[in-house]
Amino acid sequence: MSIAKSKLIALINILLITIPFLAINQLQQRVEAFSYPVDWGPKWRNEVASNLKVWFNTTLDPEHRRHFLRAIGFWNSTGTLVTFRIVNTGGNIIVTPDTRRDPPPPCGGGTSNFSDSSGYIYYSRIVVHPNPACASDRRWWVAVATHELGHALGLGHMKYEPYSIMGGAWDRHRLPIPLLDDILALLYLYGPKKPNPVKFFSTYDGSYASKGPAELNGYPYQLEARPRSYSTYTFASLTSTQITLNFYGNLGAMMVANMKYIMNNLYQGGIGFYISYNPTISSNTVFELTITRFYHPNYPPYLFADFRLSYANSPSNKAIISFALETFDASNDAAYLVILAVFHWEDGYTYALAIAYKGTDVLGYVNFDRNVRHYQQGAWYNLYLYPSFAVWSDAGSGRTSQYQFDFVYTQYSK
Amino acid sequence: MDIKTTFIALTSIIILAVVGIIILYQTNPSNTFNTNTAVISTFPTERFNTNTIPIYTSPVISCVKPYNKNYMGWAPVSDLRKYGLGYTEDFAPEYEKNPLLFLKVFDDIIIVVHAKVISLGEAYQDSIIPAEYSLRYKILILDIIINKSPLSLNVGEMIDVYYAVYNLEITKQMYLSGTINVTAPKVIENVDPKHFTGFIMPLDIGNEYVLYLSYDPSKPLKIFAGSPYFVFDSKVYSPDNVIYPVDSEPYTKAFYKVCGMPLFDFINLIKNVNS
C-alpha cells in the first residue's frame, strides 16, 4: 500500500472518530441546554398555578416588594399557564424578609416549597435577606426575585444554562427575566396560558376594579392587554375610567394595534403594535410584528422597529402570541428596556426573544431560534416605553374581527 | 490492509479517542467546580458598600465527619425532605468566591458571641408556617466578639436566645393534609429533641458555639441565635468521630465547618473579616 493511501485511510479514520466526538460533544451541550431544570422539584396543581396568590409580608421592604412585582410581571408574561396574583393576606406564596433565621443575613434569597403527599406544592415561602450592604443593585435584586419565584414555581437550578434565569442568564446576559429554557420548563410543567377572557382588575390589591388612566400616572406600572372578545368592536373613545385600544384592519388579513392614544395620554414615551399576518398559517406564512414608537415630543413619530418571524407548516393553524416589555428606570428618559417576546405555536414550536436596552445601547441581547425552521429577524431601534404590556392573540383562525383588550395593571410603589 | 496501515489507523483512533475524551471532560463543567473549597481572596465591591475584606489568617475549612459529644438526639435533617420541605438558597456570587464573607456582619443588630449552651426551655410556634417553632435556650456568654448594637451584653451573663426549628409532627400533618391550615400548639413545654430539627441542627446543651445573635429592634428582648455558616467549636467537632445521624447534613449549601484552628485564631478571623 502506498504512503498516500495510508494517509488517506488515516484521514478517514480521523473523520470517523472526530465526527462522532464532535457530535457527542454537541449533543452533550444540547443535553445540558435541554436538561434544565435538573433538580426541579414538585409542581403546583394546574388549577392553582393559573391563579397563584402571592402575599407580601408587611415587613418586606418596599424596594424588595417592587422587585418582586416586576418579577411577577415577567413570569406572568411568559405565555405559560402560570399566573401570579397579589393578595393582601393568606395566599399560596409569601414573600418575607428573614430577620429570624441564620444571621448574619447574607445577600440573596431562599425559597422553601412545601409539598404534600401527592407530590404537589401547596405552599411556598420566599425569603429575601434584606442586607443593606447589597441593596443598591436594583437590577440584580430583580433577578433574585425572578429567580426565587422560579423556585416557587418548582424550577430548580441549572447553573450553566445561559438561557435561564434559574441558570446563567444573569451572569451571561444581565437579564433579570425568564428566558427560553425557563419558559420551556414551565410549558412542560404547566402548559401554555389559555387566552381566556379576563376581567379588568388591579393586581395590586387583588380586587377587581376599574382603573382610569389618571391612576396610571407615576412610575412604574405593568400593563397587560388581554383579548376579551373576538367580536367586532370599535374603540372610538377613551373614557376616564376605561382604557381603549384601537385596532385597525381585520384579523385574518391584517391587524394593526395602535396604542398611540394610550401612550400619548399616559406617558411621554410610547409604543405601538403593528401586527399583520396571513389568515392561514401555511408553508409560506410570515408572521410579522412591528413595534412602533411614536408620540415622544422629542422624536419624530412612527419610527419603526420590527422583527419578522417566518413560520412554516403549522398543522394547527393556530398561534398563541405573548409579548412583554419592561423598563427599569422611568425617571431616566433613556430608560432600561427589556423586551421579552415569546411565541408559542400549538404544535410545540416556541420562539422567544429578549433584549435589554438603555437608550440606544443594547445592554444584552438574546435571541432564540430553537426549533425554528425559518427565522428572520429585522432591525431593532431605540424604544421608549414606560409601562409594559402583553398581548395574547389567537391567530390564524380566520376571524376577521377586531380585538378588544382589557388591561391588567400593577401599580408599583414609587 | 497491511500492518503499517493498520498501525496508522489504530494509532489515529487511539489518539483521537484520547483527544475526544479530553474535550468532553473539558466541556463538562462539573469537573472544574467545587463548592466546598473556601478561597481567601478579595472580592469586587460592585454589589457591596464596603471595602475589600482583608484576611490574614488561613483557616482549615474541612471537617468531613462532625463529632458532637453532647448530641441530644434531634431528628435527622433529611426528615424535612421526607415531609415535603424543599429548600433552595441563593447567595450573591461573591459568597461563592469568598465564603469568608459569611462571617461578615453587615447589620448593627448582629452580635457575635462565643457562648456555652446551658439549658433548653420551651418551643414556641411563632410563624405563619404552623410547623415552625423557636426553641428557647439559655446560654452563657463566654466572649463577645462583635457587638455594635445598642444591646448591652456582658461576658459571664446568661441570656435567653431562640433558635428556629421545625416540629416534624406538624410538618407531617401539613404534608398529609396538603395545607398550612393545621392546628399547632403555641407552646410546647417539654421539648423532645427527636420531634424537632432545623436547617442546621439545633444547639446541644453543654456545647460551646460561636453564635450570631440578632433581634427585631422593635422586640429587643427576644434574641434569635443562628449558627453562622461557618461553624467552629474545637470541643464539638472532630474529624474522626461521628455521632450525628447519617442524614443530618445541613439543609444549606453554604455551610462550612472550621476545624484544626485554635479558637483564638477563629475569633481573630471573624474580627479581621469585620474590621
Q: For the segment A182-223, what is each residue's pLDDT rounded down to a tens digit?
A: 777 787 788 766 533 222 222 223 233 333 333 333 322 333
Average pLDDT, integer, range B93-120: 82
Per-residue pLDDT reduced to its tens digit, A364-409: 333 333 322 222 222 222 222 222 222 222 233 322 222 233 333 3
Chain A residues lying within 8 Å of B23, measured CB to CB: 21, 25
CA distance B122 to chain A (A): 17
pLDDT in tens, A326-370: 333 333 333 333 444 444 433 334 444 444 444 333 333 333 333
pLDDT at A235 over 50: no
Which CATH number is A43-190's, of 3.40.390.10, 3.20.20.150, 3.40.50.150, 3.40.190.10? 3.40.390.10
Q: Which residues contact A361 (CB under 8 A, 6 or more apart)?
A: none
pTM over 0.90: no
The pLDDT, as a whole number, for residue A13 is 55
SS (HEC) of B35-91: CCCCCCCCCCCCCCCCCCCCCCCCCCCCCCCCCCCCCCCCCCCHHHHHCCEEEEEEE
- pLDDT at residue number B106: 77
Residue of B nearest to A149 (CA): B88
Return the higher-pLDDT residue of A129 and A54: A54
**Cα of A127 to nearest chain B Cα, Å:** 9
ipTM of the complex: 0.76
Q: Which burial class, exposed, middle or buried, applies to B24 when counting CB atoms under 10 A from its CB (0-12, 13-18, 19+)?
A: middle
DSSP SS3 for A143: helix
Name the residue among B12, B90, B175 with its Cβ closest to that of A147. B90
pLDDT for B211? 87
Mean pLDDT check: name the lowest of A142-146, A198-202, A307-311, B43-47. Answer: A198-202
Chain A residue numbers with beta carbons less than 8 Å from the beta carbon of B147 are none
Q: How many pairs of residues across A and B have Cβ atoms under 8 Å apart?
A: 187
Q: Are the beta carbons of A136 and B49 separated by less than 8 Å?
A: yes
Question: Where do the CATH 3.40.390.10 domains begin and end in chain A?
Answer: 43-190
B147 inside 8 A of chain A by CB:
no
Residues of chain B with C-beta less than 8 angstroms from the C-beta of A137: 46-47
Facing residue for A10 by CB, picked from B9, B95, B174: B9
Cβ(A217)–Cβ(A346) below 8 Å: no
Higher pLDDT, A168 or A56: A56
Taking CA–CA distances from A16, the nearest residue in chain B reads B13
Q: Is the pLDDT reported for residue B273 higher than 60?
A: yes
Q: What is the mean pLDDT of chain A?
A: 51
The Cβ of residue B2 has, within 10 Å, a number of other Cβ atoms equal to 10
Would the CB atoms of A107 and B47 count as touching at under 8 Å?
A: yes
C-beta of residue A155 within 8 angstroms of C-beta of residue A124: no
Over 60: is that where the pLDDT of A7 sits?
yes
Provide mean pLDDT across the span A303-316. Answer: 31
Q: Does B182 touch chain A if contact means CB atoms closer than 8 Å?
A: no
Nearest CA in chain A to B217: A99
The nearest CA of chain A is from the CA of B69 a distance in Å of 23
Given an 8 Å threshold on Cβ–Cβ distance, is B92 in contact with A134? yes
Of the ranges A298-312, A385-399, B115-129, the best mean pLDDT one = B115-129
Q: A104 and B180 in contact by Cβ < 8 A?
A: no
